[in-house]
Structure 1
Amino acid sequence: MEITGRIVKDASVFKVKENREVVNFSIAVNDSYKPKGSTEVKKIVTYIDCSYWLSSGLVQWLKKGTLVQLFGRIGLNVYIGNDARAHGALTFHTSDIKILVFAQADNTKAAAAAKQDKTADEPDDLPF
């Protein structure tokens, strides 16, 4: 199965027993549809928790805002909560990750904002 989405927060590495590591992250998948008989387009966002067991070195590239294409399989975690009700969550068990667009560095965003603020404060030199 293949899904494409943006990472919603920086990935993290968790150590599990027997010296194994897993990279955990979440992505947002955007979709839209037009209800029958309507001209308005409805936008929906689905958040999917993902796990990657093959290499923890990839975590340095999985930053918030990165657009990724993932290959793998869907798993369902079902459990009984403290409220004695059944709960479930989807997890995408990733076997391959392709980075489509890297996240913009924080210093690049700050520099762009500073440049915009500077130009807004400068008076207009144009004679018209």
Structure 2
Amino acid sequence: MNIIGRLTRDAEVRKLSNEKQVVNFSIATNDNYRNKKGEKIEQTTYFECAYWISPKIAEHLTKGTLVELSGRAYTSAWIGKDGEPHAGLNFHTSQITLHGGGKRSDNNSTKSSKTRRKANSKSNDSDKEDDLPF
């Protein structure tokens, strides 16, 4: 499954007890359509995302960045501290394509100005020209 959206916050790298690292971030996707009455309906869906392949991508995943993700969507449900039931949409990310638009730090300003960068579990010869560290 592919989804396109903007990051709602900067990505965080979490280290698990078994020394594995996961990059967690959240994106918002927008959908527009007209109902039977012809009224325009705008709907935003939020996904909590996890990327396990390389933690180095986190420095590029900043709030506002437009990303295209490939992976698997699933739901989770829980009872909150308030005793109320809650639910959320999650996305197990296997590939990330950056389309830009997020905030940049000083050390990222020297990066290439390519508008499309990929982080993929598979490498190929065309990726060797990219200046990203993953």
CA, structure 1 residues 44+13, in 2 after alignment: closer, same or farther (shift >3 Å)? same
CA, structure 1 residues 96+106, in 2 after alignment: closer, same or farther (shift >3 Å)? closer
User: Does residue 1:78 correspond to 2:77, yes or no?
Assistant: yes
- Residue 24 of structure 2 corresponds to 24
CA, structure 1 residues 100+13, in 2 after alignment: closer, same or farther (shift >3 Å)? same
- Contact 2:62 2:103 survives alignment (8 Å): no
- Contact 1:32 1:44 survives alignment (8 Å): yes
- Residue 42 of structure 1 corresponds to 41
- Runs ≥4 residues deviating over 3 A: 82-86, 104-107
CA-atom RMSD in angstroms? 1.8
> In 2, Cα distance between the equivalents of 1:80 and 1:49?
17
Structure 1: 5+ residue stretches without partners: 108-128
- Residue 63 of structure 1 corresponds to 62
CA, structure 1 residues 105+90, in 2 after alignment: closer, same or farther (shift >3 Å)? same
TM-score, normalising length: structure 2:
0.71
Percent of aligned pairs with the same amino acid:
42
* Rg larger for: 1
Residue 102 of structure 1: CA displacement? Answer: 4.1
Residue 106 of structure 1: CA displacement? Answer: 7.2
TM-score, normalising length: structure 1:
0.74
Residue 32 of structure 1: CA displacement? Answer: 0.5
Structure 2: 5+ residue stretches without partners: 107-134
Higher helix share: 1
25-34 vs 70-79, greater mean Cα deviation: 70-79
> In 1, Cα distance between the equivalents of 2:104 and 2:63?
10
How many residues matched? 106
Residue 22 of structure 1: CA displacement? Answer: 0.7
